[in-house]
Structure 1
């Protein structure tokens, strides 16, 4: 497969995968794989969106604005946030084989991260105060990871989802890594979606861009080098992915959605052998002082005692 063919299949510019009520609608059929899915719905003030979960579990994540999620007799009030660059958000988990409704008094944009799954877990609210905020890397490789639905953090059947924030000028998803082989205890098979937003900052949207690389891990494997802007998406069925490069002056956000066929829900990766050495340099460097861009809010004492 040529690079141009790969790019057309795996690089999804903003608006090119809109369908029905969704500004972005990528499911297993569109992606050409078996599990991972991502939708983005934009609601006008007072609008409502109803959907059936089918054979997939979903997490509703506010990108900007707040909303109410109703499902299975549960009512989850998501406070949300002004933007992905302003704070950690709360979220709502919706199980498979359920009907759900999202409504927003003030309007907003909401991501639905999904994965085909077998178990039907209960609907649950995820407080922003319980989201672990991790600072990963050092120096020019410093980034922030909001591990809201990482394996071992929030219970799902198949779905793994995190948010990554990269200060302008830094590299993240580095060293390049992969998770496309079933190597017990060393590497898990996960289909991955990267959804990007770029902060226009003081310089405006015209220069708000970044770059993302996917290189083959096997003959004929995925091969993409894409300029990414807000609303763009990159699909990663296989291959070494990274770096994600943020242009100077423009912080980069991406939402990672992952799922796969393995019996165990886990994120196990292999570093690219030519670039893994970079990890050995981090202990001697400081984390970028611009991080964290923000932290999780403190728990509400009233909620802790209720």
Structure 2
């Protein structure tokens, strides 16, 4: 029952033309939201002008977003990308009270957080996205920090995406952010949206639909949680509290996830506490090399497909 509450397979949260929706109507959920949809030419999806700030993230494909807010009406083209494993994408931040329509072709995510505070809308080009190569050795991964406090002036939202090469571990060491300890830890709900695909060096016979990774959560003093799941494209894990990680890319398959975070603290900050039993692992990275498969870019994905 615990896993059924906090982990959802692709399509289980289908609603109103969206493949998946997490929002304030989701039991036990209040600070974050996400919407995932497949759009084909000629279709559009509407975003109501609610007390929500949002970031529109092309997963696969390109989109046009018409958005109306307190500054007027704008139309923004999102060039997008051919795959979530093709490096960063351009994204669009929409302030609270914005209505919008999304048109195009492909798969799109909309990250959300309830707020009445208004910030300026902003287009962030892929070339502007801070790309962080985090960890070392088998814990090497690539992080796109387009929606973090250092990159975006948002009211509540903290959003990033992570690419983990096949056989590597990310969201590791296991960590938590469910207590307000100024300067040390912040309270943040977190959503993980996953995709997986055969690695760039996978055999031509590799089945994309079979691609998978693993993801775990476990209890902290803030609450009981226990998720141990095979994750595939379209799956969503909710982390209301507790230690979370690792997210592991299975041999032969790369793993992607989009993280959406927000919480009740007065400061918008991502501050974490490692599980003390595993915190020593960070020091073990000293002297190890970064995984040479990083960074993932559009060019590197094409090169891998041709090898």
The answer to whether TM tops 0.5 is yes
Aligned residue among 172, 182, 190 for 2:170: 172
2 CA distance for matches of 1:102 and 1:54? 16
1 CA distance for matches of 2:183 and 2:222? 25
CA distance change for structure 1 residues 295 and 83 in 2, over 3 Å: closer, same or farther?
A: closer
- 2:245 aligned with 1:242, yes or no? yes
- The corresponding residue for 1:120 is 118
CA distance change for structure 1 residues 93 and 206 in 2, over 3 Å: closer, same or farther?
A: closer
- Structure 1, gaps ≥5 residues long: 297-306
Aligned residue among 199, 211, 219 for 2:214: 211
2 CA distance for matches of 1:260 and 1:295? 33
- The corresponding residue for 2:272 is 269
Is 2:11–2:20's contact at 8 Å kept on the other side of the alignment? yes
- The corresponding residue for 1:87 is 87
Is 1:179–1:268's contact at 8 Å kept on the other side of the alignment? yes
Is 1:53–1:95's contact at 8 Å kept on the other side of the alignment? no
1 CA distance for matches of 2:95 and 2:122? 9
1 CA distance for matches of 2:40 and 2:282? 45
How far the C-alpha of 1:209 sits from its partner, in A, is 0.8
- The corresponding residue for 2:302 is none
- The corresponding residue for 2:98 is 98
Runs of 4+ residues deviating >3 angstroms? none
TM-score of the superposition, structure 2-length normalised?
0.91
- The corresponding residue for 1:139 is 137
What pairs up with 1:144-155 in 2 under 5 angstroms?
A: 144-155=142-153
Could you tell which deviates more after superposition, 49-58 or 188-197? 49-58
Secondary structure of the residue that 1:22 maps to in structure 2?
coil
Secondary structure of the residue that 1:264 maps to in structure 2?
coil
- The corresponding residue for 1:190 is 188
How far the C-alpha of 1:291 sits from its partner, in A, is 0.7
Q: What do you get for the CA RMSD once the two structures are aligned?
A: 1.4
Equivalences, count: 290
TM-score of the superposition, structure 1-length normalised?
0.92
How far the C-alpha of 1:295 sits from its partner, in A, is 7.8
Aligned residue among 28, 33, 44 for 1:32: 28
2 CA distance for matches of 1:76 and 1:207? 35
Is 2:86–2:298's contact at 8 Å kept on the other side of the alignment? no
- The corresponding residue for 1:284 is 287
2 CA distance for matches of 1:110 and 1:224? 26
Secondary structure of the residue that 2:215 maps to in structure 1?
strand
